[in-house]
Structure 1
Amino acid sequence: MAKPFRIVHNSLNLSSDVKILRAAEYASFLEAEEVLQAVKVRADEILKSSEEAFELARQQGYEDGLEQGKLEHSEKIMDTLFESVAFVERLEHASVELVSKAVEKVIADMPNEERIVSIVKKGLGTIQNESAVTIKVCLTEVTYVENALSSIASTFPSMTMEVHGDKRLREGDCLLETVMGVVDCKLSTQLKAINKALTRRVGKAS
Structure 2
Amino acid sequence: MATPFLLTASNLCVDPACKMLKGNDYLTYLEAKKVIEQGSAQAVDIAEKAKVAFQQEKKKGYLAGLEESQFEQAEQILTVVSRTINYLAGIEKSMVDILLTGVKKIIGDFDQEEVAVSLVKSALQHVRNEKQVTIRVPQSQYSMIKGRVSEILEEYAGVGFIDLVADERLTMGDCIMESEIGLVETSVDVQLRALQKRFEKINASVAGLHNDSDTL
Aligned partner of 1:195 in structure 2 is 196
The TM-score, its normalising length taken from structure 2, stands at: 0.52
The residue identity in structure 2 corresponding to 1:156 is: Y
Residues 1-206 of structure 1 mapped to structure 2, 5 A cutoff: 55-56=74-75, 85=85, 87-159=87-159, 160-199=161-200
Contact 2:137 2:165 in 1 (8 A): yes
Query: 1:199/1:144 Cα in 2 relative to 1: closer, same or farther (>3 Å)?
Result: same
Task: Give the whole-Å Cα distance in 2 for the aligned partners of 1:172 and 1:97.
Answer: 20
Secondary structure of the residue that 2:135 maps to in structure 1? strand
Task: Tell me how many residue pairs correspond in the alignment.
Answer: 133
Secondary structure of the residue that 1:126 maps to in structure 2? coil
Secondary structure of the residue that 2:133 maps to in structure 1? strand
Task: Give the whole-Å Cα distance in 2 for the aligned partners of 1:116 and 1:165.
Answer: 13
Query: 1:166/1:84 Cα in 2 relative to 1: closer, same or farther (>3 Å)?
Result: same
The residue identity in structure 1 corresponding to 2:157 is: P
Q: What per-residue deviation string (whole Å, max 9, x for no partner) do you get for residues 31-84 of structure 1?
A: xxxxxxxxxxxxxxxxxxxxx889549xxxxxxxxxxxxxxxxxxx9xx95x76
Task: Give the whole-Å Cα distance in 2 for the aligned partners of 1:56 and 1:86.
Answer: 16
Task: Give the whole-Å Cα distance in 1 for the aligned partners of 2:196 and 2:75.
Answer: 38
The residue identity in structure 1 corresponding to 2:116 is: I
- Offset of residue 94 of structure 1: 1.6
Task: Give the whole-Å Cα distance in 1 for the aligned partners of 2:126 and 2:200.
Answer: 22
Secondary structure of the residue that 1:119 maps to in structure 2? helix
Query: 1:56/1:86 Cα in 2 relative to 1: closer, same or farther (>3 Å)?
Result: closer
Secondary structure of the residue that 1:153 maps to in structure 2? helix
- Offset of residue 107 of structure 1: 0.4
The residue identity in structure 2 corresponding to 1:165 is: A
Query: 1:196/1:131 Cα in 2 relative to 1: closer, same or farther (>3 Å)?
Result: farther
The residue identity in structure 2 corresponding to 1:168 is: R
Query: 1:89/1:167 Cα in 2 relative to 1: closer, same or farther (>3 Å)?
Result: same
Query: 1:157/1:90 Cα in 2 relative to 1: closer, same or farther (>3 Å)?
Result: same
Secondary structure of the residue that 1:137 maps to in structure 2? strand
Unaligned runs of 5+ in 2: 1-70, 210-216
Secondary structure of the residue that 1:91 maps to in structure 2? helix
Query: 1:113/1:99 Cα in 2 relative to 1: closer, same or farther (>3 Å)?
Result: same
Alpha-carbon RMSD across the aligned residues, in angstroms, is: 3.1
Secondary structure of the residue that 1:152 maps to in structure 2? helix
- Offset of residue 200 of structure 1: 5.0
Task: Give the whole-Å Cα distance in 1 for the aligned partners of 2:138 and 2:131.
Answer: 23
- Offset of residue 182 of structure 1: 1.1
Secondary structure of the residue that 1:98 maps to in structure 2? helix
The residue identity in structure 1 corresponding to 2:152 is: I
- Offset of residue 89 of structure 1: 2.3
